Amino acid sequence: MEHQNNHQGSRATLLINFKKTFDTYWLDKEFELFHPEKHLEKLKVALKKERTSERSNPATYFDITPHPFQVEILEKLVAERIVHNSNRNLIVAATGTGKTVISAFDFKRFRNNQPSAKLLFVAHRKEILATSASNISRHTQRQ
């Protein structure tokens, strides 16, 4: 019975955290509501760009900085490692919220302290792996 109550408590905590995270994303000024009359052309251009081969080797000529919600996730990853000695962490977030960017920043920071560190990146499509590998490699190049 106690195990079942703990499981229900964990589920409730998970749902509360999910709602807080969703609300943070929903209220972020970076996210836009989709209005077909206003955004349809922008969507078509983005989808076309996704289908082109250019995206598998994009050139980035600017520095990437994490958004505030990404910084919060990065800080939580550091706390998990330092406070809880947890080095196997999973980032779960909605599509388009920058999980790859978060991974790149986190790995770069981690590798500064562990020069021989390696990164395992898992995805369900080869295209995602290719793009992610390119982005992570470019961002984590040793200075």
Q: Does pLDDT of 65 surpass 80?
A: yes
pLDDT digits (tens, 9 = 90+) for 4-60: 555 667 788 888 988 888 888 888 877 778 889 988 998 888 888 777 644 444 445
Q: Please give, one letter per residue, the 3-state secondary structure of 8-49.
A: HHHHHHHHHHHHHHHHHHHHCCCCCCCCHHHHHHHHHHHHHH
Phi, psi of 94 (to 5 degrees): -65, 155
Put simply, whether the predicted model's pTM sits higher than 0.85 gets the answer no
Instruction: Give mean pLDDT, residues 58-73.
Output: 76
pLDDT of residue 121 exceeding 60, the answer is: yes
142 — pLDDT class (breaks 50, 70, 90): low
**Residue 131 has what pLDDT?**
83
Quick one: CA dihedral 73, 75, 80, 86, positive or negative?
Answer: positive
pLDDT at 119 over 90: no
Q: How far are the Cα atoms of 55, 87, 89, 105 from residue 76, in angstroms, in the given order? A: 30, 12, 10, 13
For all residues of the chain together, what is the average pLDDT? 80
Sorting pLDDT into bands at 50, 70 and 90, what band is 114? confident
For residue 11, the tally of other CB atoms under 10 A from its CB is 10
Q: Could you report the per-residue pLDDT of 98-111, keeping only the tens digit for each?
A: 888 898 899 888 88
